[in-house]
Amino acid sequence: MDPLTARQLIEDFIHDCAHCIDDDRLEEWPSYFVEDCRYTIIDRESFAADLPVGIMTCDSRGMLEDRVRALREANIYEPHCYRHLISGIRVRDVDGDVYRVQSSYAVIRTMQEGDISVFSSGKFLDEIVVRDDSLQFRQRIVVCDSNRIDTLIVIPL
Amino acid sequence: MDPLTARQLIEDFIHDCAHCIDDDRLEEWPSYFVEDCRYTIIDRESFAADLPVGIMTCDSRGMLEDRVRALREANIYEPHCYRHLISGIRVRDVDGDVYRVQSSYAVIRTMQEGDISVFSSGKFLDEIVVRDDSLQFRQRIVVCDSNRIDTLIVIPL
Amino acid sequence: MDPLTARQLIEDFIHDCAHCIDDDRLEEWPSYFVEDCRYTIIDRESFAADLPVGIMTCDSRGMLEDRVRALREANIYEPHCYRHLISGIRVRDVDGDVYRVQSSYAVIRTMQEGDISVFSSGKFLDEIVVRDDSLQFRQRIVVCDSNRIDTLIVIPL
């Protein structure tokens, strides 16, 4: 695939995944991943120290689906929504049809009562399988800048 | 128009409109809209419930111009400026020369005294008329994530 | 160079410079500038008033290298990291191989203790020398929206 086309498909894919979460279409979210995927949230220091244990890891699309179901059934103390801002999407490496991509994110959280704050910032390290114009994450590592992350990150980052 | 060209023109147009506000060239802002336009600010819940009443609606370019004039003459309690961050600009639909576009935004507000905060986050739902390389909003709906919005949103979002 | 190629090279370059800071590869940062460069941080009001004195100015790549060395040796009271979000990268002018580019930024600061806040927002006014696929800043003016800026801005913006 020519690099310009791949670049645009990847940018669109990453943004669409964020819109899917922000628009509260969470049931669609697992479809952005291959069956045999890995989704990890880890803090910056643990990632730098190559610690294998993230704050949260899902090892299959089924686990992502479970996560969404649990979220829909959960009694969240106070309703809130997320807004992703994604910047600096950069393809770092291509291996066959797998693209390694780095990007920066910030998630703005708005509580129903109206409080607005930056909930999390960090970077996405993605491995994206690109086949024709169909894209899916094989791996997404969310490296949070903060070491103090809510153990209950309800909505996915 | 070929999709790549349209995509870039639309991205540039949306960013230029934000720069126009952030650079305090507000008198230029109405020129980003067609004469017979609609500009609405509405909260997420009202929008989801399909409530027709936004927090603020302008139904013509003249109303946008009035708004800017009022702002210039107003005694604002404390001067402040805005900074738009726009992410995930995605063309969702094309109908003739009208493009339906979704994007995410955050507006950072800096008060003259120095306080910096996220003033608003949400999404833009735009209808943009693209004729050659001249673009204008036919409609811009600003869907704020927060239900509590200053009734006096002085500077446009 | 054709405009599309230049545009993409410039976007990538600006984002890579931000990733270099956010990934704490500060020793690489001066290499984004030509030898005889200018890097200035200035507040919005002083910039508008055309005041020649910024909060901080470096007049050569050597000064940028000194800055990074000083930072590495400094005892910072509380460790923190930055996350750049860059939006609205727009080429405003081309003069030979020098591109004048405007963009908006926000820098999210995360303290080791976990506090997350918007540290600074503003715009970059860049002059970028583009030779084949090698790009470097000839000038970067960081215009901060806030007039109250830490005199000790440790990590570069």
Q: Which of A23, A85, A112 sits opposite B106 (nearest CB)?
A: A85
Residues of chain B contacting A112 with CB distance shorter than 8 Å: 147
Q: Quick one: average pLDDT of C95-105? A: 97
Identify the pLDDT of residue C154.
65
Q: How far is B59 from chain A (nearest CA, A)?
A: 26
Single-letter code of the amino acid located at A83: R
> Is A18 in the B-facing interface, judged by CB distances under 8 Å?
yes
Asked if A18 and B104 come within 8 Å (Cβ–Cβ), the reply is yes
Give me the residue from B88, B102, B122 closest to A86, CB to CB.
B88
Strands A134-144 and A33-43: parallel
**Complex ipTM > 0.95:** no
Query: pLDDT band at residue B21, thresholds of 50, 70 and 90?
Result: very high
3-class DSSP state of A52: coil
List b or e across C30-44, with b for residues whose CB sees 16 or more CB atoms inside 10 angstroms: bebbbeebbbbbbbb
Per DSSP, the three-state class of B110 is strand
Higher pLDDT, C14 or B80: C14
Mean pLDDT, residues A106-131 = 94
Tell me, what's the pLDDT at B150?
A: 65
Under an 8 A CB cutoff, do A81 and B119 touch? Answer: no
Contact between chains at C19 and A102 (C-beta distance less than 8 A): yes
Contact B77, C112 (CB under 8 A): no
pLDDT surpassing 80 at residue A149: no
Distances (CA, A) of A50 to A43, A104, C83: 11, 20, 21
The pTM of this model reads 0.95
Residues A88, C86: C-beta atoms closer than 8 Å:
yes
Does A120 touch chain C if contact means CB atoms closer than 8 Å? yes
The answer, yes or no, to whether residue B23 has pLDDT greater than 80, is: yes
Q: Distance between CA A38 and CA C84 in Å, rounded?
A: 26
Average pLDDT estimate for A24-49: 94
Tell me: the pLDDT tens digits for B41-57? 999 989 999 887 777 89
Q: Supply the mean pLDDT for chain B.
A: 91
Indicate the residue of A12, A18, A110 with minimum beta-carbon distance to B145.
A110
The answer to whether residue B115 scores a pLDDT higher than 60 is yes
- Residue whose token pair is 């969240």: A76
Contact B15 C119 (CB under 8 A): no
- pLDDT tens-digit map of C110-125: 998 888 999 999 999 9
Residue contact B117–A116, C-beta within 8 A: yes
